[in-house]
Amino acid sequence: MREHNELYLDGAWRAPLDPTVMELADPATGNLNARVVLGGEADVDAAVAAAERAFVSYSQTTPQERIALLERVLVEYDARSEDLAQAVTEELGAPLALARGAHVPSGRVQIATAIEVLKSYEFTEMRGETCIRKEALGVAGLITPWNFPVLQPVGKTMSALAAGCTVVLKPAQLTPYSAIILAEIMEAAGVPAGVFNLVNGRGSVIGASLSSHPGVGIVSFTGSLAAATQVAIAAAPTVKRVTSELGGKSPHILLPDADLDVAVDTAMTWLMAVTGQLCSAPSRTLVPRARLEEFLSVLVPVVENIVVGDPRAEDTTMGPLISAEQWNTVQGYIRQGLDEGARLVTGGLGKPAGLEAGHFAKPTVFADVENSMTIAREEIFGPVMSVIAYDTVDEAIEIANDTPFGLAAYVTGEDLQAARAVAEQIRVGYVMINDAEFDWSAPWGGYKQSGNGREFGLDGMTEYLETKVIRGG
C-alpha cells in the first residue's frame, strides 16, 4: 500500500493547506493500493508563488548551468528506473516489460535530448545591428495525462527547465506515483527550491487554477478535447500561452503492395500492446478491398494469441484498462459497433475468461466498418480496431483525412516512394512508415482538433521561449 501525504512545494515536502485524500485501485485486481493526498487552490497559489520567486534567478542561468543540472537529473533518473517501471505497472496496469522497455526509456530520452538541445541552441542571434534574444517565458503550468505517466511529466518538465522556465506540475489524478518519484528525483539532483513544484489533485480544481492563474505564463496540457477547451477558456483572460496535445483517430493505410506481417506488427505494437490507451493508436485500419480477407486471415490469429492478464507476469502482452469507467466506455463502443452493423471478427463484449477481477477487455477487431460509424469517428481508448475497405489509394487518403483529428498516421507499403507520397497527403503531425522506429526526440503534436504546439526536443523547448528584440547600444 502506497501512502503519499505531501506535495512538493518550494524545495520541500509539505502537507496541503486544505487536504483531501484519494484512494486508488490496482487496474489489474481492483484492489485498493494507494492513498494519495490532493491539494487545492491555495496549494496552487503557494506553488506558483514559489515558482515565481525561483524564476528571477533560474531564468538567468546559462545554458551550461542548466546542462549541468539536467545531467544530475539524468543520473538520479537512471538510479530510479526500476522504481518508475514498477510504479507504471501498478498505477496504469501496463505490462512490466512494456514499462521497462518503453515507458521508462522514453522519459530518459527526454532528459538526454534536452541536454543535447542546450549544447547547440543559440539563445541570442544578431541580424545585422539587431539583437534577437530568446528568453524564458515564465512559470510553466504542466497538466499531464494518465496514459503516459513518465514520458509526459518528464518531457514537459525537461523542455521547460531547458528553456529557463520554472515549473508547477499537475499529474493525472489516476496515475500520480511516477510523478511523485520524479519529484524525488528532482530533489535528489539538487534542483533549486521553487524551480520544480508538484501539486496532485483534481483537474477541475488544480488544472483550472493553474490555467487561470495570473502568475502562470504558459500552460502545457495533454488530455481530452473537452478538458483542453476548459483550459483555453480559463487561460484566455490572462492571455497566457496554451499548448495542447489531444486525442486522435489515427488511420493506418495498407497500400496495395503492403507486407501484411509488417502491417499486423504495427497494429500489435501501437494498438493492442498498450491496450489501445494511446492517443496515436492506429484504430482505423484501411485495407484494399481485394486484400481484406487475406489481411484478416493474418491478423486474427495474432490477435487471438495476445496474452491478456497480470501485467507483472512475464508472458503478459496486454494488461488491463486503467479503470472501471474506461472499461465501461470501451464496452459501450463495442456495443455501438455491433448495433451499427460492423462485422465482429474477434473479441467483443465482456472480459476474457478467467479475468473477472480487474478491468480487462478482449482485444477486438471489427470489419466491414464504414467511416461514418461511431467506432470509426470517435476515440475509443481501448483495444478495438476498425477495419475499413477501400478501392483506390486516393479514396484511402480521403477516408484517412475525414476526421476532426490529426495527430498521427501509419502507412505500410513496399514501394517507399509511394508510401512517402501518401504520408505527405495525410493531415497529421506524425506519420510512421512500415516498421520505422519511433523517434521520441522528434516534434510531437497534431493538426486540427488534435491540438496545437509541439512537444519534445528542440521544438518542445522553444514553446517555452519568448522573443525579445534589442536595437542600439
Q: Which tens digit of pLDDT belongs to each residue from 255-288?
A: 999 999 999 999 999 999 999 999 999 999 999 9
- Comparing CA positions, the residue from 270, 287, 246, 263 lying closest to residue 379 is 246
CATH 3.40.309.10 location in the chain: 251-440
pLDDT given for residue 1 in this prediction: 85
Give residue-wise pLDDT tens across range 107-118: 999 999 999 999
Catalytic residue list contains 279: yes
Give residue-wise pLDDT tens across range 231-260: 999 999 999 999 999 999 999 999 999 999
**Residue 466 CB-density burial (10 A; 0-12 exposed, 13-18 middle, 19+ buried):** middle
Region 2-26: mean pLDDT is 95
pLDDT exceeding 70 applies to what percent of the chain? Answer: 100
Region 67-79: mean pLDDT is 99
Give residue-wise pLDDT tens across range 289-336: 999 999 999 999 999 999 999 999 999 999 999 999 999 999 999 999
Does residue 141 register a pLDDT over 80? yes
**Inter-CA distances, 93 with 54, 102, 248, Å:** 36, 14, 22
Give residue-wise pLDDT tens across range 325-372: 999 999 999 999 999 999 999 999 999 999 999 999 999 999 999 999
pLDDT given for residue 314 in this prediction: 94
Catalytic residue list contains 131: no
**Identified catalytic residue from 76, 90, 245, 379:** 245
Give residue-wise pLDDT tens across range 443-468: 999 999 999 999 999 999 999 999 99
Residues in Cβ contact with 271 at an 8 Å cutoff, skipping those fewer than 6 apart: 278, 281, 282, 283, 383, 385
**Identified catalytic residue from 279, 379, 455, 463:** 279
Distance between CA atoms of 144 and 147, rounded to whole angstroms?
9
pTM of the predicted protein model: 0.97
Query: Which amino acid is located at 376 in the chain?
Result: A
Task: For the domain made up of 251-440, give the CATH fold.
Answer: Aldehyde Dehydrogenase; Chain A, domain 2 (3.40.309)
Region 3-12: mean pLDDT is 97
Does residue 473 register a pLDDT over 80? no
Strand bridging mode 241-245 / 451-452: antiparallel
Distance between CA atoms of 287 and 285, rounded to whole angstroms?
6
pLDDT given for residue 60 in this prediction: 98
pLDDT given for residue 18 in this prediction: 83
Query: Which amino acid is located at 73 in the chain?
Result: V
Cβ–Cβ under 8 Å, residues 254 and 282:
no
Lowest mean pLDDT among 18-32, 385-399, 416-430: 18-32
Residue 341 CB coordination number (10 Å): 11
Query: Which amino acid is located at 142 in the chain?
Result: L
Task: For the domain made up of 2-246+449-471, give the CATH fold.
Answer: Aldehyde Dehydrogenase; Chain A, domain 1 (3.40.605)
Residue 402 CB coordination number (10 Å): 14
Chain mean pLDDT for the chain: 98
Cβ–Cβ under 8 Å, residues 287 and 390:
yes
Q: Name the band, by pLDDT with cuts 50, 70 and 90, for residue 39.
A: very high
Give residue-wise pLDDT tens across range 94-105: 999 999 999 999
Q: Name the band, by pLDDT with cuts 50, 70 and 90, for residue 184.
A: very high
Cβ–Cβ under 8 Å, residues 228 and 221:
yes
CATH 3.40.605.10 location in the chain: 2-246+449-471
Cross-strand pairs, 140: 167, 218
Cross-strand pairs, 390: 288
